[in-house]
Amino acid sequence: MRWLVFALLLGCGNSSTEPASPSTSAEPNNPAAPAKGSAGASAVAPATPPKPCTTKQLPRLEAGAEKGQVCDADVASPLVVLDLADAWTPALFAQRPDGSAPEFRENYLRIASELDGKGKLLPPHDALAELYGVVPSLAIVRARLADEKRHACHAAIDSSTITTIDKAYTQADRAEVMRGHETRAALQKQLERERDKRKVADLAALADVPETKASYEKWKKLDDRYRGLVAIQKHLACEGYLPAKRAADGNMSWEIGTAVELFQRRNFLMPNATLDAETRAAFALDSRELDFRFALRVLRERVADAAGLVEDGTAGEGPVAILGRMLDPADMRRVRGYDKPLPNAAPDLISPATEAAAKALGWTDPAATLASMKAHADQKVVVQLPPPPAYHAAHMALEAEIDRGDVWYDMKPTWRAAVHRPNLVLYADDHGTRRALMRWPTTIGGWADQRPEAPKPAKDGKEPEPAPVDEDGEPIDIDSEDAITRQWKESDVGERVWRDIYAAPTWMPPMTTPDRELLVHQGSHKYALKKSSFGPGPHAAFGMVLIQHQIIEKKKDGKESVWDNGIGTHGAASVTSVVTGSSHGCHRMFNQYAVRLGDFLLKHREHVVKGQMPTGYTRTLTWKPPPPPEPKEGDPPVDPEKLPKTQTFTAKVKTRGYLYQLNPPVKVNVLPGNILTSRTTPPPPYKPEKKKRKKDGEDKAADATAPAKSETAKTETAKPSKAKSSKKSTTAQATP
């Protein structure tokens, strides 16, 4: 794939006049030349014939129609080449001119096409990866727009009562919803008797009768809620997220919550399994309109990549609509506690560019979009976009700043509601003006479970480390639940640099990560390795991109020494944790933002491609069954063969990811934030009181390694920090 963003960097006026085509001759602008018809006109030399196109002629589109062709080597700003191929990736995962590419590229294309390794359709939990940094293929968009059977299914549903639901229901509200349905049924029987008694046409006629008005209003509200929930269940069945034969009963259950989350993933909503206002509004929309918004989101990522844009309005007045539509949930458009625009903030450039591209392609409604996509499938086309800002260049002066927001150094894990959430701002030097390009939500460290490290054996004449002991001096089994403590995971304060960018990074959990956080329960005392957390992939602990925080120092011999403390800026396996959760010290971002940031840095900073970085990480994990209960008198003896057995697993990671190195690096400064406790340094480890052992499968993974198949696991609110970091070798693995 060829990226022609350099054309944008030439800059030009905001003129709608088409640049002269290389195949069109232009009269030379020479004041000394004789005018036409004068005596000397015959002496004017003939125009130089146009240079032949040695690469490829590409169609130029305006308002959905072809307006001639342009040689791709001659494309210049404000024109840009858009790649409409199904096999497209962002620049981070693109094939290089020499044919090399990240190992993950093929998997990226497969996931974007929602296919498994054998070419079969992925199940929805694994297929819906747009929220996790994989831009769906245009083939998926075409298929959805053309799915008449599904559209007919949705169109047959009366969705009018969905908007009357006035509460964000979850499966936790199941009992309340069921009681409401019972009350509704009882009131309806009473009102039906009154209707027969008064000989009126329908129940609505009882709304103005004084004796029945209150009962009718209560029934009507409950009836609207019931019908709205039934309509939502029918829409979920049309999408295949509920069995088609399942009766729509209007209840809220685990099954409904899971299906709602799948709908949210498909429609780029916060995947919280909750019928919040944005989700209810989406259910009430026409299915073709939802798919049209899907198309615009996919187009937006391709436009941002092709034009080298990261400015989305979040640092200023906020993103603007694309063709009258806001494509992101509110939590992605702002950072909690930071509503005022930053000084000299860049406006939204991505949305106007996307709208210009959509109009040029003819993507103005669902039907026109489908027709255009079919006509130009797998093509590269040329469209005109707004000109880039003057500060854009092949190598820009950039710096980042992370504000840790509200910070509490409590002595034990305590729920805190942060008014000011952590946020990341990227700045550019605009000819002496410090211009904020974007401001995105992020996370900082908090409390996390940690097990003791194994004692180091004797080495180089040194005595072996003593085995850890408890408060009574008894040896501790470091693999047992009793050995686990809550540790504060600090987000280092101060200046660092972004040098190393890993595309499709993997996670190599430190030995202090409890085994149970790396295993997934499969029922009936069976466990499996949580491979998705290790990566690479959209559900990896680091998401799709990792940018390490490093300190680079010059030694006396002139060589560089590179240090880090295991902290990085990266994508997130748990989307909701970016809004409400904490991390193990790193700064998480929404995955699509992490990819945009990585792309932007590659397009606007000099860098070196280091390629795939091998590693040899191996770890053995163990699940130990709980001890059997004490037998009661008269109980039959327990057959040892029927008791659950200890299970062991081996985790292996062969690559750290595909490495790009910025040269020079970008400075990043982590600010202390608002420390709201009298204590100003991280707290010591906290040992919770011993509790009854949980039943098999009840253990929850820490939110840094949230299960890939669900976003509904609750996470703990961020508990930030401010201590000086201890320097460690750059070989240390970052903590998510």
Summarised one tens digit per residue, pLDDT across range 391-433 is: 999 999 999 999 999 999 999 999 998 999 999 999 999 999 9
- The pLDDT value given to residue 639: 81
Q: Is the confidence at residue 319, as pLDDT, over 50?
A: yes
Any idea which residue has 């709602």 for tokens? Answer: 260
- The pLDDT value given to residue 711: 60
CA distance 277 to 282: 9
- The pLDDT value given to residue 471: 67
Region of poorest pLDDT, from 5-14, 96-105, 251-260, 360-369: 5-14
- The pLDDT value given to residue 689: 67
CA-based torsion, 181, 183, 189, 194: positive or negative: negative
Q: Is the confidence at residue 580, as pLDDT, over 50?
A: yes
- The pLDDT value given to residue 559: 84
Mean pLDDT, residues 136-161: 97
Q: Under a CB-based contact definition with an 8 Å cutoff, are residues 180 and 222 in contact? A: yes
Q: Under a CB-based contact definition with an 8 Å cutoff, are residues 191 and 202 in contact? A: no
Residue 469 carries which DSSP code? B
CA distance 652 to 671: 36
CA distance 594 to 135: 13
Q: What is the mean pLDDT of the chain?
A: 86
Position with higher pLDDT, 187 vs 7: 187
- The pLDDT value given to residue 561: 87
Is the entire prediction scored with pTM above 0.95?
Answer: no
Give tens-digit pLDDT for 626-643: 888 788 888 888 888 888
Q: Is the confidence at residue 28, as pLDDT, over 80?
A: no
- The pLDDT value given to residue 714: 38
Our measurement of the distance from residue 724's CA atom to the centroid of its chain's CA atoms, rounded to an integer in Å, reads 30
Give tens-digit pLDDT for 587-615: 999 999 999 999 999 999 999 999 999 99
**Before 664, cis peptide (omega within 30)?**
yes
Q: Cα angle at 116 between 111 and 117, to 5 degrees?
A: 110
Mean pLDDT, residues 455-483: 72
pLDDT tier at 727 (50, 70, 90 boundaries)?
very low
Q: What are the phi and psi torsion angles at 529 (to 5°)? A: -70, 135
- The pLDDT value given to residue 288: 98
Q: Is the confidence at residue 726, as pLDDT, over 80?
A: no
Instruction: Establish how many alpha carbons lie within 13 A of residue 285's alpha carbon, considering only the half-sphere containing its beta carbon.
Output: 17
Give tens-digit pLDDT for 324-333: 999 999 999 9
Our measurement of the distance from residue 193's CA atom to the centroid of its chain's CA atoms, rounded to an integer in Å, reads 54
- The pLDDT value given to residue 484: 86
Return the closest-CA partner of residue 573 out of 329, 736, 402, 336: 736
CA distance 510 to 506: 13
